[in-house]
Structure 1
Amino acid sequence: MSSSERPASPTPSERERLDAEARKKEEAEQATLPYKWTQRIEDVDVTIPIPGNLKAKDLIVEIKKMRIKAQIKGQDPLIEGDFPHPIMPDECTWTLETTPTGKEISIHLDKQYKSEWWAHVVTTAPKIDVTKIQPENSKLSDLDGETRGMVEKMMYDQEMKRQGKPTSEEQQKQDMLKKFMAQHPEMDFSQAKMG
């Protein structure tokens, strides 16, 4: 594809409009789910509203390393499927809580890999755009140094990609090539390609 055939990059206002449309579509898809979910880099919380007359003995909640199922006995599951990434089942919990409008099953899942954002809780559900996740800075400070550095690098690289600029690794390669070229002016680098 020649450069004249490539579609033009969207202008900032077009990108803003496209992002807003994508957010609206994503929110509509998530609103159709029988549960709500939130996540931090290290865990996922799922809440499922249920009728107020139910008790824990009326429920089936199964949490495994790669799978979840929650249902009211004798009914179709409210959530069932495979996780996109493994969890640590021994660290996960579920409770039945009373709310102003009834009750809800509250499920807390500890991610095994605490450096990955999930696009969905179960792989059959609609995905969210994980590149748009903006973690709270106060939560970043809770992470250990190595994990925090990895998360900050991921956030920086995502922002650079969004702006069409080189990621930290691409910039490092470019800098190394420039340094090498400066040290070896006798060599012809006109055909050099970065891969």
Structure 2
Amino acid sequence: MTPEEREVYDKTQKAREEEEQGQLPYMWRQTLQDVDVTIPVPKGTRGRDLQVELKKKHIKVALKGQPALIEGELCKDIKVDDSTWTIDNQQEVLVHLEKSNQMTWWENVVTTAPKIDTKKIQPENSKLDDLDGETRAMVEKMMFDQRQKAMNKPDSDTLRKQQVFESFKQQHPEMDFSNVKFDQ
């Protein structure tokens, strides 16, 4: 596909995905840690009017005596004890699902719903300050390597190898290193 064809294809897919998601009886959004589902209900709805079930791999939200607003097998497992639901302004049920695996994006909330393309998810920007030391160092290294690659320069691992090699050369001036090549 040419870049232009890819752009048209991506726009078409995005429009189709938005239409499919817009037809669901709920809205949802996610981070790597959790999924939040917003389900409109008739104004004046109270907790006692609802039947809500949150299980490791299953969800059900219904007005008592009526068909479920959402019900089915969850896309992935949740931490039941950390998942909650509330009613907002007596007109929306807010369901917070804490993901068991906090390193994956969900394609949908329930497996019977249309899927989204998780490769196209744009995560919200987080601050490097929010990360623990080890994670921050890894992210900074990845960002450095990405910038270096964009400029056709060696990544951090190659630079480190070159520094070690230069140090070794200085310690051993008697050796001939003229035929040494570095892979990038």
Q: Under a length normalisation based on structure 2, what TM-score does the superposition of the two structures give?
A: 0.71
Q: Does 1:83 align with 2:71?
A: no
Residues 69-115 of structure 1, C-alpha deviations (whole Å, 9 max, x = no match): 000001110001111211100001100011xxx61000001101000
- Distance between the aligned counterparts of 2:134 and 2:114, measured in 1? 31
Uncovered stretches (5+) of structure 2, i.e. residues with no partner: 146-178
Shift of 1:53: 2.2
Match of 2:4 in 1: 13
Query: Match of 2:73, as an amino acid?
Result: D
Q: Does 1:49 align with 2:40?
A: yes
User: 1:41–1:117: 8 Å Cα contact kept in structure 2?
Assistant: yes
1:69 to 60, 65, 69: 60
User: 1:115–1:147: 8 Å Cα contact kept in structure 2?
Assistant: no
RMSD: 2.9
Query: Match of 1:56, as an amino acid?
Result: G
Shift of 1:145: 5.9
- Distance between the aligned counterparts of 2:17 and 2:76, measured in 1? 21
Aligned structure 1 segments of 4 or more residues deviating by more than 2 angstroms:
139-150
- Distance between the aligned counterparts of 1:92 and 1:86, measured in 2? 11
Identity %: 52
Distance 1:23 1:95, change over 3 A: same
Shift of 1:137: 2.1
Task: Please say which structure displays the higher CA radius of gyration.
Answer: 2
Uncovered stretches (5+) of structure 1, i.e. residues with no partner: 1-9, 157-181, 184-195
Q: How many residues align?
A: 148
- Distance between the aligned counterparts of 1:38 and 1:24, measured in 2? 17
Q: Does 1:121 align with 2:109?
A: yes
- Distance between the aligned counterparts of 1:17 and 1:89, measured in 2? 41
Shift of 1:140: 7.1
Q: Under a length normalisation based on structure 1, what TM-score does the superposition of the two structures give?
A: 0.67
SS of 1:78 mapped into structure 2: strand
